[in-house]
Every structure is written in structure tokens, then in C-alpha cells.
């Protein structure tokens, strides 16, 4: 059993019958979805509804018989004030985790949907192997940014002005990488990491042409880390 599979196994401890779940995207989540499907088939869990964050996750879940729904179907009737988050739990992986449990996510190409689903969860549980822990975000992996196709190269040039090396994410054949939403992706490489993630998030959010970015700040409720010494749980301090 590899580290991601171990982390996914621990994440299953937080799942109870009757829950509405958010299912992330990526290799760690694939292990979690497989385990969830197995528990449902065995009868260890029941009355589960899940909102997938990508077409790939949706296809995997359907193949395992996991009932799927949408945030809209879980919402309160029009005009009513929601009394609680729409999802009991969202479970996902991450590309980097800093000491404050801030994340870089989105190298699995689903950052916009992952953020929409994650923000509607009572608890956001993140599964990683120990290699994803960093002292500063952006030290090991690029920051993905989802951009509109219109004049995408101009948007990438602007990203270059933020103290990083911005590039349009290209497939092996040279065509732009396209998300499930029909948008393009850029990657931003920071030589010394991202000094001020919150300030950068605000800057990116205010730029026309940028749909969403992969900085998931102050969102993770806990991070499950699997490594050579076993599995540890990192939680937000109150």
C-alpha cells in the first residue's frame, strides 16, 4: 500500500452513512473513491450522495455505483436561508501544503470545480504523502491558474509581471491544456516560492481573464499526511 492509499484509508474514517460528500480529483482521490465504492458495495456505508469535481472523478464514481448529485440539488429551496453547509465533507488531495495548511491545488486540472465544491463543505479533508509538505507554497510545484481562452497569451504575459515565470500549459502536441469548463490553464513558477499567498490571491482574483487560481487558503480543516513514519493528522489551530 503506497502513501496516498494509506492517506485515503484514513480519510474514510471521517465518512459516515447519510453524508453528502465532495469528491476531489487526482490520484489520492482516486484511491478514496475506490474505497468509498467498496464500502458501499459491502454495505458498510449507505445513503451516501457525492458531488464530483471533474468528469474523470464522476466516471470513476459511477463505475463503482456511488450515487452522484449536484450542489444545486442539495441546496435549500429558492428564497430559503441555508441552515448548514451543503456538504458534510469534501475530500481531496493537494500539490503542496504549507505549515498553516494553506494549499496549492489544481495540477490535476480541476481547481475551479474543486474550490467551488470545497467551499460548500462543513469540513475539507486533504490527503497527501509527506513529499507535499513545504515550508513555503510554490517552492516545489507551479501554481496553476485557469484563464479564459480569449487573449490567453496576454494574460500569461501579465502573470509574468508578478515575480514568476508564467507559461501557457500545453499538451504534448502543443495544443493548450483545456479544463472540463472549456478554459485554458497557465502555470506560474516562483523561484523562491510565494512570499505572500493571500496578497497574490487578491491580485489574481481582481484580474479580468483569470477565472480561478490554485491557492486554497484557509480552507483545509485537516490534512492527512502519510509517510515513512506512518500517518499523521494536521489540524487547523482554533
Residue 78 has pLDDT above 70, yes or no: no
Residue 88 and residue 115 share a domain:
yes
Mean pLDDT of 83-108: 95
Domain span at residue 204 reads: 143-209
Confidence of residue 84 (pLDDT cuts 50, 70, 90): confident
Max CA distance (Å), the chain: 54
* 99 falls within a domain: yes
Residue 231 and residue 176 share a domain:
no
CB 86 within 8 A of CB 71: yes
CATH of the domain at 75: 3.40.50.1360
Residue 33 and residue 99 share a domain:
yes
Cβ neighbours around 162 below 10 Å, total: 16
* 12 falls within a domain: yes
pLDDT at 128: 98
Higher pLDDT, 157 or 81: 157
* 136 falls within a domain: no
Beta bridge partners of 92: 126
pLDDT at 81: 55
* 101 falls within a domain: yes
* 137 falls within a domain: no
CB 189 within 8 A of CB 150: no
CATH of the domain at 205: 3.30.70.260
Confidence of residue 75 (pLDDT cuts 50, 70, 90): confident
Residue 12 and residue 98 share a domain:
yes
pLDDT at 138: 98
Residue 196 and residue 168 share a domain:
yes
pLDDT at 236: 79
pLDDT at 124: 98
Of 5, 96, 114, 146, which residue is the catalytic one? 114
Residue 91 and residue 35 share a domain:
yes
* 135 falls within a domain: no
Mean pLDDT of 156-185: 97
Residue 82 has pLDDT above 70, yes or no: no
Confidence of residue 149 (pLDDT cuts 50, 70, 90): very high
* 8 falls within a domain: yes
Strands 143-147 and 210-213: antiparallel
Task: Examine the residue annotation and report whether 114 is marked as an active-site residue of this protein.
Answer: yes
Mean pLDDT of 10-28: 98
pLDDT at 101: 98
Residue 65 and residue 115 share a domain:
yes
- DSSP of 151-168: THHHHHHHHHTTSSEEEE
Cα distance between residue 66 and residue 135, in whole Å: 37
Domains of the chain: total: 2
Give residue-wise pLDDT tens across range 118-145. 999 999 999 999 999 999 999 999 999 9
Residue 200 and residue 99 share a domain:
no
* 182 falls within a domain: yes
Give residue-wise pLDDT tens across range 24-70. 999 999 999 999 999 999 999 999 999 999 999 999 999 999 999 99
Amino acid at each position: 500500500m503506497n502513501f496516498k492509499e494509506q492517506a485515503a484509508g484514513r480519510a474514510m474514517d471521517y465518512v459516515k452513512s447519510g453524508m453528502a460528500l465532495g469528491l476531489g480529483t487526482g490520484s489520492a482521490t482516486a484511491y478514496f473513491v475506490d474505497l468509498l465504492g467498496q464500502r458501499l458495495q459491502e454495505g458498510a456505508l449507505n445513503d451516501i450522495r457525492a458531488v464530483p469535481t471533474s468528469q474523470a472523478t464522476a466516471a470513476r464514481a459511477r463505475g463503482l455505483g456511488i450515487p452522484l448529485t449536484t450542489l444545486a440539488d442539495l441546496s435549500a429551496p429558492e428564497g430559503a436561508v441555508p441552515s448548514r453547509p451543503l456538504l458534510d465533507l469534501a475530500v481531496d488531495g493537494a500539490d503542496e501544503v504549507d505549515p498553516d495548511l494553506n494549499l496549492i491545488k489544481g495540477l490535476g486540472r480541476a481547481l475551479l470545480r474543486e474550490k467551488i465544491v470545497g467551499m460548500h463543505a462543513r469540513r475539507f479533508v486533504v490527503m497527501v504523502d509527506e513529499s507535499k509538505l513545504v515550508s513555503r507554497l510554490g517552492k516545489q510545484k507551479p501554481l496553476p491558474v485557469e484563464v479564459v481562452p480569449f487573449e490567453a497569451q496576454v494574460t500569461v504575459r501579465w502573470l509574468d509581471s508578478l515575480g514568476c515565470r508564467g507559461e501557457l500549459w500545453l499538451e504534448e502536441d502543443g495544443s493548450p491544456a483545456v479544463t472540463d469548463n472549456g478554459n485554458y490553464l497557465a502555470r506560474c513558477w516562483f523561484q523562491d516560492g510565494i512570499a505572500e499567498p493571500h496578497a497574490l490571491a487578491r491580485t489574481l482574483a481582481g484580474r479580468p481573464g483569470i477565472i480561478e487560481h490554485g491557492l486554497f487558503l484557509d480552507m483545509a480543516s485537516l490534512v492527512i499526511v502519510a509517510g515513512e513514519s506512518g500517518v499523521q493528522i494536521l489540524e487547523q489551530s482554533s
